[in-house]
């Protein structure tokens, strides 16, 4: 099978990582895969000698315009794919045009966002052959809010991209480096610094915790909202407690050094950060938006808080910071949940089974 994966840019987000992971997995399964991006380069630069798939970008130099896709339809036609998988908002906006140019190919849109969908995205949803949603809630958004027929949508959760043995030792050296004592409870958030990821509110919530609690907030990632968050932490007198760790190509050691995963994001469909945190035994405290409740088991491996319920969020943090025994119970259930529901082999097979069904005949 010839598979074309379309993505605007290889930034450091979860969708981009999933694109590279799937391109690699499909190619290793014996399929001819091309990953086509609008913008060149990106944080997730590829190793041309090691990658098992072809890579091509449309812009001859980086214009920094995510939507600019010169020659996209021509490139798609030249690739002559059996199936086109569009990843990310910009690529999905073009999916309807690609389906029109390649009527015999199966063009698949993906629903992986909690943001409002632009007109061209909705148009593509109606014109494409099929849609993959990465959470059941995202599917309900499509069927209830956009009148997409249920049979046209298949739910396939994200794959876990990082695995750590359950017996991997706690990274106490990293904790000491950042000034965390053995009793300090480290709250971790891994995400790009964009306004919708809402690290600002996490800082504000932590500032309202009782002053005598021993905690640190580690924020891993980079992006346009980082400087404002740094100023906020300074203005609130939290400079020693809030750590800005920058972009992490592999945050595994952060998971091994932390105690809780926290998420106040306002734009998720299924959080890669939360499912990775569950695998590493971190209980979650997160706002209930779109598919977040499918990343962990509420009241068994984390606390799902009504969106914008700051009092409830603070109460959950307070309780879990104080109660290490409850964190341990949540941790074990979280590992089991992640291992049972987000195994890459099963998720990739689900994709390939669907692809074969859509392209047969």
Residue ranges of the chain whose pLDDT lies below 50: none
**Cα separation of 163 and 59, whole Å?**
35
Tell me the pTM.
0.79
**What size, in residues, is the chain?**
361
Strands 242-246 and 284-288: unpaired
H helical segments located in 252-343? 252-257, 272-279, 310-322, 324-341
2-159+343-359: CATH superfamily:
Glycogen Phosphorylase B; (3.40.50.2000)
The candidate with the shortest Cα–Cα distance to 113, out of 129, 97, 94, 90, is 90
pLDDT of residue 167: 67
Q: Break the chain into its structural domains and give their ranges.
A: 2-159+343-359, 172-341
The DSSP call for residue 147 is: -
Q: Out of 1.10.10.10, 2.40.30.10, 3.90.180.10, 3.40.50.2000, which CATH number does the structure's domain 172-341 have? A: 3.40.50.2000
Which residues touch 188 (CB under 8 Å, ≥6 apart)?
218, 220, 254, 255, 258, 259, 260, 261, 262, 277, 282
Q: Fold identical between 2-159+343-359 and 172-341?
A: yes
């Amino acid at each position: 099978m010839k598979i074309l994966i379309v993505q605007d840019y290889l930034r450091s987000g979860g969708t981009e990582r999933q694109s590279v992971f799937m391109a690699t997995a499909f190619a290793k399964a014996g399929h001819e895969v091309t990953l086509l991006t609008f913008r060149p380069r990106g944080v997730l630069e590829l190793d041309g000698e090691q990658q098992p798939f072809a890579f091509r970008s449309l812009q001859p130099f980086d214009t920094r315009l995510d939507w600019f896709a010169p020659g996209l339809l021509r490139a798609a036609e030249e690739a002559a794919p059996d199936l086109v998988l569009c990843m990310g908002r910009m690529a999905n906006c073009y999916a309807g045009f690609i389906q029109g140019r390649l009527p015999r190919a199966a063009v698949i849109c993906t629903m992986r966002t909690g943001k409002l969908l632009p007109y061209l995205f909705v148009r593509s949803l109606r014109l494409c052959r099929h849609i993959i949603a990465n959470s059941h809630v995202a599917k309900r958004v499509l069927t209830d809010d956009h009148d997409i027929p249920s049979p046209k949508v298949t739910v396939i959760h994200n794959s876990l991209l990082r695995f750590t043995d359950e017996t991997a030792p706690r990274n106490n050296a990293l904790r000491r480096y950042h000034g965390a004592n053995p009793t300090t409870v480290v709250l971790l958030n891994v995400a790009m610094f964009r306004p919708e990821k809402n690290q600002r509110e996490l800082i504000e919530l932590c500032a309202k915790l009782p002053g005598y609690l021993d905690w640190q907030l580690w924020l891993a990632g980079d992006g346009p909202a980082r400087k404002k968050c740094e100023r906020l932490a300074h203005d609130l007198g939290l400079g020693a407690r809030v750590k800005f760790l920058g972009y992490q190509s592999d945050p595994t050691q952060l998971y091994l050094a932390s105690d809780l995963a926290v998420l106040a994001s306002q734009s998720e469909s299924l959080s890669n950060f939360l499912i990775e945190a569950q695998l590493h035994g971190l209980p979650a405290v997160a706002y209930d938006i779109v598919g977040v409740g499918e990343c962990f088991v509420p009241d068994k491996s984390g606390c799902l808080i009504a969106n914008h319920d700051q009092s409830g969020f603070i109460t959950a943090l307070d309780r879990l910071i104080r109660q290490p025994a409850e964190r341990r119970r949540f941790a074990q259930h979280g590992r089991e949940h992640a291992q049972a529901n987000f195994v890459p082999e099963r998720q990739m097979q689900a994709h390939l089974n669907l692809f074969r069904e859509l392209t047969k005949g």
